[in-house]
Amino acid sequence: MPDKLGPSATLRTGLSALIAYANPRSVAAEAYRQLRANIQFYSLDKPLGTVLVTSTEAEEGKSTVLANLAITIAQMDNTVILADCDLRRPMVHRLFDVKNEEGLTTVLLDASMKQLPLAQTAIPNLRILPSGPLPPNPSELLGSRRMTDLIAQLRGQADYVLFDSPPILAVSDAVVLATRLDGALLVINAGRTRREMAQKARAALQRVNANLLGVVLNNVKYDVRLHRYYGEEETD
């Protein structure tokens, strides 16, 4: 995913910060459409319904990639739920500007809850399950039997369920989740992910037999030739 915003970019939230929504004719939006096609046609026999997005370390662009991918899939008339399983630094509710009073942790802790607290976004086919209040024991919650049930419940309510997570090398949350989902995407940040770290992350996923679908290269240098090819209107 091209870096369109420069190194000085600070935390940006709200739909207008998500390029797949704000600028669908951009090179980045086209890259997300290619990623969507790769996911949709990954296996015709066993379609991918639940996908984890993770990375080796913090701030490599997991939540950004995930949010843009979710928008891009929803734009093609597939129903999508984005579940925030980063119970340490949740970001999805901020990116989509939805409340986070109730969410994933509320559902996991309150077995009597009948309806999932899904928030509708401004994008018709895209709903969010925010993190909910942060728990003291994220790994246990994500590894619980109740979480397995919740994954199935979410899957029953959308064509695709995408899961955000903390980085792989920091805590076990992402690896635990990956074993329960159809596949995992590893975000590599061209500017900062170190090769050995990427290898360690891949090994961690392989050790638990997670289905590593591939790598999303984020923050790559902007390619002017692609820019012309796709007829993008911007000049920066």
Ligand X SMILES: Nc1ncnc2c1ncn2[C@@H]1O[C@H](COP(=O)(O)OP(=O)(O)OP(=O)(O)O)[C@@H](O)[C@H]1O
Which residues contact ligand X by CB under 6 A? 1, 3-5, 9, 11-12, 55, 58-64, 86, 89, 91, 167, 218-219
- In the window 198-217, what residues touch Mg ion (CB under 5 A)? none
Indicate which of ligand X, Mg ion, none lies near residue 12 (CB less than 5 to 8 Å, by partner kind): ligand X
Task: Convert residues 42-81 into a mask of x (bound to Mg ion by CB under 5 A) and - (unbound).
Answer: --------------------xx------------------
Which residue's CB is nearer to Mg ion, number 30 or number 52?
A: 52
Which residue's CB is nearer to ligand X, number 59 or number 149?
A: 59
How far from 170 is each of 14, 37, 59, 74, 184, CA to CA, in Å? 27, 30, 12, 31, 17
Least spacing, CB of residue 91 vs ligand X, in Å: 5
Indicate which of ligand X, Mg ion, none lies near residue 132 (CB less than 5 to 8 Å, by partner kind): none
Least spacing, CB of residue 148 vs ligand X, in Å: 23
- Give one word for 156, left, alpha or beta, with left for phi > 0 and alpha for psi -120 to 50: alpha
- Residues 54 and 62: their CA atoms lie apart, in Å, by 6
Which residue's CB is nearer to ligand X, number 149 or number 223?
A: 223
Least spacing, CB of residue 114 vs ligand X, in Å: 31
Per CB under 5 A, residues contacting Mg ion are: 62-63, 91
